[in-house]
A = this chain, B = another copy of it.
């Protein structure tokens, strides 16, 4: 088989069969060879053939019919995509919903099937590689246990981050990079550097609720900018807001926004850098998902177009290396670099050098690129299946985003469905979804929900997603 030698045989075989199904060479409803026949045809073991079929079953490409064998599943229709969002134009004090904490606690409850927190299944990550890197780091850099880890973090990690940033089109001087306690600390250090309590910040609408929580804690006000599910931030709306409101900074996720999964076209990214640069209004750019975008162009950061030190770029490794490494974040704060470094040093100090060495090591290993390719593929598969289920099982009139990467879907239900009620009905069945109201300072998105479809994709999870659709259909009544 003509595949990446690092791909397991069963996966290569499954992908080949999936390709045949996608191209129509294997027609919907067609019966597949028996496991034994498949094993003989492709010169693989019986267990490899079984694993290939199971993988295709899990992905919804084929189905097993009891006592009949395996069949190509009939393709399902896909849901339409939501229209652009239309948040209110005025700035408001940020107050997060009381329901947010309950939702987030439930999302981490192992007793639930969670479409909650935006973290993917550990199975998809090279956890063993990460474990070995930490053990090795504790061995090789045991001396780092004997000295204070100080902000801004160890130089080799900052150098590795700077090298990785080349893939986003960015030339970052590693001396200006500050290692932080996750991407959230990076963002809040940036906000602190350029705002005072009461200031107005422009954000995406809908936006990541973590940003809202941080803004509330810092006493900031928000003005929400409309988003196109396909193309991200509306620059026209942003310009109007910049011209009419005292906006002190913009916080955005231009590549694979959360929850819409939008990627701004590269021309828009360039234009965003320019229009903020001219006005001297800083952009706080979150790039935690850029490495999950499909093409080099998609991965490009707004920062790559910035000539004035006006873009503060923030990242972490929780979506790409392993969820457990989310606590290692970083920021290069452009012309506020010295100030951000100073705040980090003054307000929280250094972290854990042993973990920093391990992450530096993991970023420099060849395996990183390969694991990214695999992640992108798995996420694309799982997202596709989930969208098919939404089309089939959710109430008529439902829409869902079609993100080019990542594992987050945003679903717009008919206006009659209250997603908070849906959340409450789902939690009774130990299923967690996140109601849309968490992603705004307004009362919008009450009929929307965010689904993390990066969890381990099992028949049980698939059934849970069908159940969400059934409950939503009842509520749409």
Contact = CB atoms under 8 A, between A and B. Distances in A.
Given A184-B347, A347-B184, A146 B127 contact: yes
A119 B135 contact: no
Contact of A122 (B130, B134, B145): B145
Interface of A: 108, 117, 119, 121-123, 125, 127-128, 130-131, 134-135, 138-139, 142-150, 180-182, 184-185, 188, 192, 197, 210, 213-214, 216-218, 318, 322-328, 342-343, 345-355
Q: Which 4 A-B pairs have the closest CB atoms?
A: A122-B146, A145-B324, A185-B348, A213-B346
Given A217-B346, A350-B182, A127 B139 contact: no
A184 B217 CA distance: 18
Contacts of A130: 145
A201 to B, nearest CB: 14
Nearest to A125: B146
The secondary structure that dominates the A interface is helix
A73 to B, nearest CB: 30
Given A134-B134, A134-B354, A348 B182 contact: yes
Contacts of A216: 346
28 contacts: A108-B147, A108-B148, A122-B147, A125-B146, A127-B143, A127-B145, A127-B146, A130-B145, A131-B139, A131-B145, A134-B134, A138-B138, A146-B322, A148-B318, A148-B323, A149-B327, A181-B181, A181-B349, A182-B351, A185-B349, A188-B347, A188-B348, A210-B349, A327-B349, A328-B352, A351-B351, A352-B352, A354-B355
A5 to B, nearest CB: 26
A350 B121 CA distance: 18
A148 B355 contact: no
A359 to B, nearest CB: 10
A135 B137 CA distance: 9
A148 B351 contact: no
A348 B181 CA distance: 6
A142 B130 CA distance: 9
